[in-house]
Amino acid sequence: MPRPIGEDELEPLALGAWILGTGGGGSPYHHLLNLRQAYRAGKRVQLVEADELADGDFVAVASNMGAPLVGQERLKDPQTAARAVRMMEEYSGVGFRALMSIEIGGGNALQPLVVATELGLPVVDADAMGRAFPELQMTSFAIGELTMYPLALCDVRGHEVIVSKASTPHWAERIGRKVCVEMGSIASTCKAPRTGREVKDWAIHGTVSKAIRIGKAVLDARRRHGDPVAAVIEEDDGKLLLRGKVVDVDRRTTGGFLRGKVVLDGLDGDLGRRVEIEFQNEFVLATLDGEPAAMAPDLICVLETETGDAIGTEMLRYGQRVSVIALPPSAILTSPAGLTRVGPRAFGYNIEFKSVFLS
């Protein structure tokens, strides 16, 4: 049965999604402001399970594309976010029954809810990454070899573009990225329409609820003066890699991505240990004392030790007291086809994937 997402679940969702973003996905803060305003105006967003969809229903995958820092320069506009979905309806001729996220990590977890307040459609409790990833083709849909076009993009100035065909998911990413950059490095998008059957077969289920649970665990821990990081680990069967502080950040914007490395030295029980994490928007590879310790698609999350708040790769700075944790990825990401798309080699590291959770 569809159930309304309560106003008291919005902050936990933003908090949990930011943690599942593994450093990327963009800050959910503006989306949270938009949702609170809509809720105060009496609007409510309904959450439906993938299994409640009919096979022939169509689901709109709504997200922002672009540079996270640019996205933070201006409050998101719900009408523009909704327009990308309307464009896709007009282009493809399908009527959408529901909305869903492309990635549950960061602001894009909330984008379909923002669109939902405009269009009155429910949101499916699912996404296509179970976290955040930097590129369009790093999805469970691409792993399932579903068609990744058409792709609709629009901006606040009224420009609209449809990538109606692409030879590969990677080419849809390449062409769409250039359009996005010309739109000012931030665009509202609607991905290829998905059928209810495809969402049931290939989406990663229950991730909206999971983000809310993680966010609630953090808030509960704060309320009882407990350990919010331990609460996240307990809630999602995670592992602590290091408690320490940021001692160096090397970060550059290149090729449309934020790339770099953060160095963390252990404190207290971890004194003398050093973790280095390389990132491409999201954290990709963590080494402990020089040896690979965690890698994508395992979720590597850097949280403020005191509050449990996630720290985005664009917000890392010297001196932050943080905890590095790993959370388990969805099974589809660690399948052979999954690792081809999102394993260490997909990010340019010539190493075999080894999960933190199998050691």
The CA radius of gyration of the chain, in Å to the nearest whole number, is: 19
Which residue from 52, 146, 171, 315 is in contact with its own copies, where contact means CB under 8 A? 171
**Residue placing its CB nearer to its own copies in the complex, 132 or 152:** 152
Q: Does 167 bind its own copies (CB under 8 A)?
A: yes
**Residue placing its CB nearer to its own copies in the complex, 91 or 349:** 91
* Nearest-angstrom CA–CA distance, 168 and 174: 10
> What is the footprint of its own copies within residues 47-106 (CB under 8 A)?
87, 91
Q: Does 184 bind its own copies (CB under 8 A)?
A: no
**Residue placing its CB nearer to its own copies in the complex, 18 or 149:** 149
Which residue from 121, 126, 128, 163 is in contact with its own copies, where contact means CB under 8 A? 163
The CB-of-167 to its own copies minimum distance in angstroms stands at: 5
Q: Does 255 bind its own copies (CB under 8 A)?
A: no
**Residue placing its CB nearer to its own copies in the complex, 30 or 177:** 177
Which residue from 7, 145, 182, 248 is in contact with its own copies, where contact means CB under 8 A? 182
Per DSSP, 260 falls in state E
Which residue from 3, 44, 74, 165 is in contact with its own copies, where contact means CB under 8 A? 165
* Nearest-angstrom CA–CA distance, 246 and 241: 14
The CB-of-90 to its own copies minimum distance in angstroms stands at: 9
* Nearest-angstrom CA–CA distance, 138 and 266: 32
* DSSP state string for 97-110: SEEE-S-SSGGGGT
Q: Does 179 bind its own copies (CB under 8 A)?
A: yes
* Nearest-angstrom CA–CA distance, 132 and 22: 7
Q: Around Cβ 318, how many Cβ atoms within 10 Å?
A: 11
Which residue from 40, 157, 224, 225 is in contact with its own copies, where contact means CB under 8 A? 157
Which residue from 42, 158, 255, 319 is in contact with its own copies, where contact means CB under 8 A? 158
Residue with tokens 């010297």: 318
Q: Does 175 bind its own copies (CB under 8 A)?
A: yes
Which residue from 50, 61, 128, 183 is in contact with its own copies, where contact means CB under 8 A? 183
**Residue placing its CB nearer to its own copies in the complex, 162 or 356:** 162
Geometric angle at alpha carbon 84, from 86 and 122, rounded to 5°: 65
* Nearest-angstrom CA–CA distance, 70 and 72: 5
Cα torsion 62, 68, 74, 75 to 10°: value is: 50
**Residue placing its CB nearer to its own copies in the complex, 47 or 166:** 166
**Residue placing its CB nearer to its own copies in the complex, 38 or 183:** 183
Q: Around Cβ 120, how many Cβ atoms within 10 Å?
A: 11
Which residue from 52, 77, 89, 160 is in contact with its own copies, where contact means CB under 8 A? 160
Distance from the Cα of residue 253 to its chain's centroid: 19
Identify which range of 179-187, 195-203, 245-253, 272-280 contacts its own copies by CB under 8 A. 179-187
Which residue from 181, 219, 247, 263 is in contact with its own copies, where contact means CB under 8 A? 181
Q: In sequence order, what are the residues at sequence separation of 6 or more whose Cβ sits closer than 8 angstroms to the Cβ of residue 58?
A: 94, 95, 96, 97, 193, 194, 195, 196
Size of the site for its own copies (CB under 8 A): 22
The CB-of-129 to its own copies minimum distance in angstroms stands at: 24
The CB-of-182 to its own copies minimum distance in angstroms stands at: 5
**Residue placing its CB nearer to its own copies in the complex, 160 or 309:** 160
The closest of 219, 266, 286, 209 to 23, measured between CA atoms, is: 286
Q: At what angle do helices 111-119 and 29-40 cross, to 10 degrees?
A: 30
HSE, side-chain direction, 13 A CA sphere, residue 56:
0
Which residue from 10, 98, 136, 154 is in contact with its own copies, where contact means CB under 8 A? 154
Determine the 3-state secondary structure of 333 from DSSP. Answer: helix
- Residues in the site for its own copies, rule: CB under 8 A? 87, 91, 154, 157-167, 171, 174-175, 178-179, 181-183
